[in-house]
Every structure is written in structure tokens, then in C-alpha cells.
Amino acid sequence: MKATDALRTLFAFLTLGAFAHGEPLAVGAPAPEVSAQDQDGKMVAFKDVYAKGPTLVYFYPKADTPGCTKQACSLRDDWSVLQGKGIQVLGVSEDQAAAQKKFAEKYQLPFTLIADHDGKVAQAFGAEMMGAVTKRQSFLIKDGKIAWTMLKASTDTHAKDVLKAFEGLAAK
């Protein structure tokens, strides 16, 4: 295969991947019961995490990039408050496990990062794509259902946004 043919094939694959994810899951939809590898190479069954309490599943484009670092550090900096509310956190990007581990260690991230290198988790959530990477968006799961979504998650105030949404759910 010529190099140009290989590049065309790769481009076609990436372009198809950009549109493969459907509509993001709506509030009230059942939370996807997918499994994927974490930063340590261990399989994480999302259903098991949901069973421990409210769970934030947040998607970000790429580990150790400026915006994704701000977003993750926002959650890290308010970790004790999130934990106090019983909120589990799963950060998801299409990076490999080794890149996720390096990211978690570099910024001392206390929560689990998911290596969604095949895009199955993003697809299960209907996460929107930006080219070949998942857009920044969040899903709060409570009692096995999507309880809140933020389809344009912020980088600086992500934790505060999640906590505000969680407080609103508790008031209902």
C-alpha cells in the first residue's frame, strides 16, 4: 500500500469516527453500563462505580493539554468537597492508559481516568466529537440514570458547576 493510500484510509477512518457518536444521552436516560481500562490498566465496570453513589463521568479531548489540565485540576482542587457529597469521578478521554497514568501522576489527580482509546465509552454516552477527539462534556449519574448534563463543560469552574448541579438535585 502506498503512503498516500494509507493516509487516505486513515483520514477516512478518523472522519467516520468524528460522526460515529450519536446524540448525547438526555437527563432521565439509563446510564451506560460499559467497561473500560483505567490509567493503571485495570478494567473498570461503570455499573460498579455507579453503585457506590452519584458519579460524574466527564469527557475531555486530550490528557495534559492546557484546557484539559485546568478542568482536571478544578476537580482535584475541590476533591474533598466532591468526596464529602459522595460523588465518584471518572475522567474519560481517548488517550492510552500510559498517557492517562502520566497525566494523573503529574497533576496528582485523585480520581480514576479512563483510557477510551477505542471510543466505546464516548459512543455509549453519545458524546459529541470535535474532529478525532471527544468534546469536553459531563454527565452526572444518580440512581443509575443520567441526572444532569453539561455539554460544554468549563475548564476553570468544572467542579463548582458539578457541585451546584448536585445541590440542585438534592433540593428536588
d(Cα 127, Cα 108) in Å, to the nearest integer? 26
Q: What percent of the chain has pLDDT over 90?
A: 72
Strands (E), the chain: 35-38, 43-45, 55-59, 88-93, 112-115, 129-130, 133-134, 137-142, 145-150
Q: How far apart are the first and last CA of the chain?
A: 60
Domain containing 76 equals 3-171
Record the pTM: 0.85
Predicted confidence (pLDDT) per residue in 123-165, tens digit: 999 998 888 788 999 999 999 999 999 988 778 888 999 999 9
* 100 has pLDDT over 50: yes
Q: Which of 25, 44, 68, 113 is catalytic?
A: 68
Please say if 68 is a catalytic residue. Answer: yes
**CATH of residue 136:** 3.40.30.10
| Counted domains in the chain | 1
Query: Do the strands 112-115 and 88-93 form a parallel or antiparallel pair, or are they unpaired?
Result: parallel
Helical ranges in the chain per DSSP H: 3-19, 46-50, 66-77, 79-84, 97-106, 120-125, 158-171
The per-residue pLDDT for 62 is 95
Contacts of 20 (CB under 8 A, 6+ apart): 119, 123, 129
User: Which pLDDT does position 22 carry in this prediction?
Assistant: 63
| Contact indicator for 129, 48 with CB cutoff of 8 Å | no
Question: Pairing mode, if any, of strands 145-150 and 137-142?
Answer: antiparallel
